[in-house]
């Protein structure tokens, strides 16, 4: 059997929000291809456990993306450990659910600091410290293209961050740095299970949602992780400024 070599062996990546869900799935895919990783989350115990599960070429550190010092700490850790940095998957837990009318201003500010400013800081830090062929990917949401009921903060912030990704692709492209965005649809993570449970009948909510997806099922975190690993890899060397859906065909827009 002929295997596709993504060219990830001995390359170094940062993966934030990596103790579980989409971040962990991406870290797992990268590690399986031989990449060296600095993974992070806010919870020290969970990120230490995730790093141990992923293997010896993975370092876990506890940082909050909203902390202005986190971006430089992540990049510095990668350089100190492996002498190079080749990219990052920038992921953060989803903002608090709620409507635009009733969501507290504090929740908007907190989400802006972690989702938007935190993501921008990490991208800037990676761009400054990155080696030739640096690749950055933002984990966004299908709310970039279409609002999701009950997720007003995500609907507000994710489209703006997608435009930041495309702007960075323009600005960093001449240096050979690629920047892309990934739009997960309904991927079966703990976050989605919580959202499905809000109506009181999570199984009914899931069945109703699956009927709107052409593949008629939720995606798995591993399905997202494999796409993310490809986009970050040298195998995707001519992809930049793209905002890619990973949603089983659910989005009805281009």
pTM of the model: 0.94
pLDDT reported for residue 193: 87
pLDDT reported for residue 3: 61
Q: Is 165:43 a contact under the CB 8 Å cutoff?
A: no
Convert the pLDDT of each residue in 35-90 to its tens digit: 999 999 999 999 999 999 999 999 999 999 999 999 999 999 999 999 999 999 99
Residues 115 and 120: their CA atoms lie apart, in Å, by: 9
pLDDT reported for residue 1: 46
pLDDT reported for residue 191: 84
pLDDT reported for residue 198: 81
Q: Is 224:26 a contact under the CB 8 Å cutoff?
A: yes
Q: Is 214:249 a contact under the CB 8 Å cutoff?
A: yes
Exposed, middle or buried: residue 6 (CB in 10 Å: 0-12, 13-18, 19+)? buried
Q: Consecutive sets of 10 residues in the chain, 254 residues long: mean pLDDT of each?
A: 80 97 97 98 96 96 96 97 97 89 96 96 97 95 92 95 98 97 93 84 91 95 97 98 96 86
CATH topology of domain 12-187+221-245: Rossmann fold (3.40.50)
pLDDT reported for residue 93: 79
DSSP string, 163-228: HHHHHHHHHHGGGT-EEEEEEE-SB--HHHHHHHHTTS-HHHHHHHHHTTSTTSSPBPHHHHHHHH
pLDDT reported for residue 2: 47
């Amino acid at each position: 059997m002929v295997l596709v070599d993504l060219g990830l062996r001995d390359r170094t990546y940062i993966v934030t929000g990596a103790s579980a869900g989409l971040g962990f799935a991406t870290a797992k895919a990268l590690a399986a291809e031989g990449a060296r990783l600095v993974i992070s989350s806010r919870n020290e115990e969970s990120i230490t456990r995730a790093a141990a599960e992923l293997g010896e070429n993975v370092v876990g550190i506890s940082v909050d993306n909203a902390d202005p010092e986190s971006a430089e700490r992540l990049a510095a850790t990668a350089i100190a450990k492996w002498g190079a940095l080749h990219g990052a998957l920038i992921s953060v837990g989803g903002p608090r659910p709620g409507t635009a009318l009733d969501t507290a201003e504090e929740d908007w500010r907190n989400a802006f600091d972690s989702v938007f400013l935190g993501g921008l800081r990490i991208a800037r830090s990676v761009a400054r410290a990155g080696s030739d062929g640096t690749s950055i990917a933002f984990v966004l949401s299908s709310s970039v293209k279409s609002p999701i009921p009950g997720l007003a903060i995500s609907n507000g912030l994710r489209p703006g961050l997608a435009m930041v990704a495309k702007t960075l692709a323009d600005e960093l492209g001449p240096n050979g740095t690629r920047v892309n965005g990934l739009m997960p649809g309904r991927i079966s993570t703990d976050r989605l299970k919580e959202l499905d449970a809000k109506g009181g009948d999570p199984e009914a909510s899931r069945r109703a949602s699956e009927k709107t997806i052409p593949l008629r099922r939720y995606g798995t975190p591993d399905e997202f992780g494999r796409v993310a690993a490809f986009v970050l890899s040298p195998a995707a060397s001519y992809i930049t400024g793209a905002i890619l859906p990973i949603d089983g065909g659910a989005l009805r827009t281009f």
